[in-house]
Chains A and B, each alone.
Chain A
Amino acid sequence: MKPKQNSAASVPIMDAEAIRRALRRIAHEIIEGNPKLESIVLAGIPSRGVEIARRIGTFISEIEKAQVETGVIDVAMHRDDVGTRKELPVVRASKLPVPLEDRTVIIVDDVLYTGRTVRAAMDAINSFGRPARIQLAVLIDRGHRELPIRPDYVGKNLPTATREQIQVRLQESDDEPDGVYLEKQ
């Protein structure tokens, strides 16, 4: 973990094994809910959603001996708060197989909070084409939705206060051991 301020307390919520089990269960649920596995595209939101999508895809191919496609969907240029920030983060190139017609796109992200990122992701996906359906898989659902959006696959439901923060760390994207932490300010 990165050094914390003294006032912040960091509570471990999931360790590497818990994350592994949660993603493996999500893989099973995706297989169960989607008889046509070959139509699935796992679309990760940068940066950790991309890594989570890759891991779910690996689990699916281990369980079913079938490859599912994975892609990247960056939401920065579809957000609803452009022009309200003093600084802008880097935008990553999106990468989805086309055409998306008759495909099931599963948006994958680490934490579901207000739902605004997911709305932007759905908007972005539609500019690539018109998929048959869009679903949502998240490692953590922390509540506090501001839009009518709900996940189809959840690793862990974690009721939080708005002043708290969820930190997800993944070896590949953060160069730190896998873990989920709840930080109280």
Chain B
Amino acid sequence: MTSRWTRKDLLGLRELSADEINFVLETTDAFKQVGTREIKKVPALRGKTLVNFFVEPSTRTRTSFELAAFRLSADVINIAATTSSLTKGETLKDTARNLEALHADIIVLRHSSAGASQFLANRLKASVINAGDGAHEHPTQALLDLYTIRERRGKIAGLHVAIIGDILFSRVARSNIFGLLKLGARVTLVGPSTLVPREFEKLGVEVSHKIEDILPNADVVNLLRIQHERQRREYFPGLGEYIRLFGLTKQRAKLLKPECLIMHPGPINRGVEIDSEIADGLQSVILDQVTNGLAVRMAVLYLCGGIAS
């Protein structure tokens, strides 16, 4: 394993080496421990300013970054698209330059365009953390998924991970695919052919359109949220049909191995991708993912924000 971290930005898992991913996971162990202390705050980023710059709506990711920054003693400003000058026609670059003029040290960016965080990182001295850019990547979500799997199963290499659902436009799926493959997992994507085209096989994953074939031999199932607000008719047959063919119902969950983990990045559509009872069941690690997300984001902010600029 590498023993040093040298990146100021976290833009995606595609460009990270397996060593670097493991480095973040190991650092996360240390920050998870901080959450159990009497005083859950460390001075690591004291005096640094973090800007949560969310051009797409998000509550849980933004809150998780915000709390992570507080726990590291950084100061936090939240800017949402509706309150920013973007609606007045300011370009992303101009907004970012203004943030830098305020001496922001770390910019956490959520944006609807793929590559937006790369665009900023290339132009700014500040650290840029990608909190989701279009259908491209959502690296901290994948890191917290990897961390949760490693924590529960003790390893990632050799495990069979099924990612189920709305994959075509999913940055969570893409980041997970890169991370899981680099750490030696076997990945199967499951969903209707419109949302999980065979094209994905080029990335080194398997593709299945029949969930019953995959559930019995999966070590982890990661259910992605059906983004029904984004669906267009030509990709998506309708919720009823989706549930009938791909929903993790109580009946289907019986096919799973008893030690198989059930994951979901949230927010859950109860009764759509997963039955309520299964989401709250013993195999579900959905709330562990939330707790671990905080620790992963502390680790990422510490590592990227702690590098000399």
A-side residues, CB < 8 A to B, are 74, 76-79, 82-95, 98-99, 123-124, 126-129
Q: How far is the CB of A114 from chain B (nearest CB, A)?
A: 18
Q: Are B44 and A127 in contact (CB under 8 A)?
A: no
* Interface size counted on chain B using CB atoms at 8 A: 33
Contact with A along B94-136 (1 / 0, CB 8 A): 0000000000010000000000000000000000000000000
Q: Are B27 and A90 in contact (CB under 8 A)?
A: yes
Q: Are A87 and B44 in contact (CB under 8 A)?
A: no
Q: Are B4 and A82 in contact (CB under 8 A)?
A: no
Q: Are B30 and A92 in contact (CB under 8 A)?
A: yes
13 A-B interface contacts by CB (under 8 A): A77-B30, A77-B72, A78-B42, A82-B302, A83-B306, A83-B309, A86-B307, A86-B308, A88-B4, A91-B27, A91-B31, A127-B37, A127-B42
The yes or no answer to B305 lying at the interface (CB within 8 A) is: yes
Interface residues of B in 160-192 (CB under 8 A from A): none
Residue with the greatest number of chain B CB neighbours at <10 A, chosen from A77, A89, A127:
A77
Residues in A neighbouring B309, C-beta threshold 8 A: 83
Beta-carbon nearest neighbor of A84 in chain B = B308
Q: Are A87 and B6 in contact (CB under 8 A)?
A: yes
Q: Are A83 and B305 in contact (CB under 8 A)?
A: yes
Residues in A neighbouring B241, C-beta threshold 8 A: none
Residues in A neighbouring B4, C-beta threshold 8 A: 87-89
Q: Are A83 and B308 in contact (CB under 8 A)?
A: yes
The yes or no answer to B29 lying at the interface (CB within 8 A) is: yes
The yes or no answer to B200 lying at the interface (CB within 8 A) is: no
CA distance A89 to B2 in the complex (A): 9
Residues in A neighbouring B235, C-beta threshold 8 A: none
Sorted nearest first, the 3 A-B pairs with minimum C-beta distance are A127-B39, A91-B30, A77-B44
Residues in B neighbouring A74, C-beta threshold 8 A: 30
Residues in B neighbouring A82, C-beta threshold 8 A: 44-45, 302, 306
Residue with the greatest number of chain A CB neighbours at <10 A, chosen from B31, B44, B45:
B44
CA distance A86 to B6 in the complex (A): 6
Q: How far is the CB of A9 from chain B (nearest CB, A)?
A: 26
Residues in A neighbouring B303, C-beta threshold 8 A: 88
The yes or no answer to B259 lying at the interface (CB within 8 A) is: no
Contacts known (A86-B308, A88-B307, A90-B26); A77 close to B42, Cβ less than 8 A = yes
Beta-carbon nearest neighbor of A101 in chain B = B38
Contacts known (A86-B308, A90-B3); A129 close to B44, Cβ less than 8 A = no
Q: Are B38 and A87 in contact (CB under 8 A)?
A: no
Contacts known (A74-B30, A94-B30); A87 close to B37, Cβ less than 8 A = no
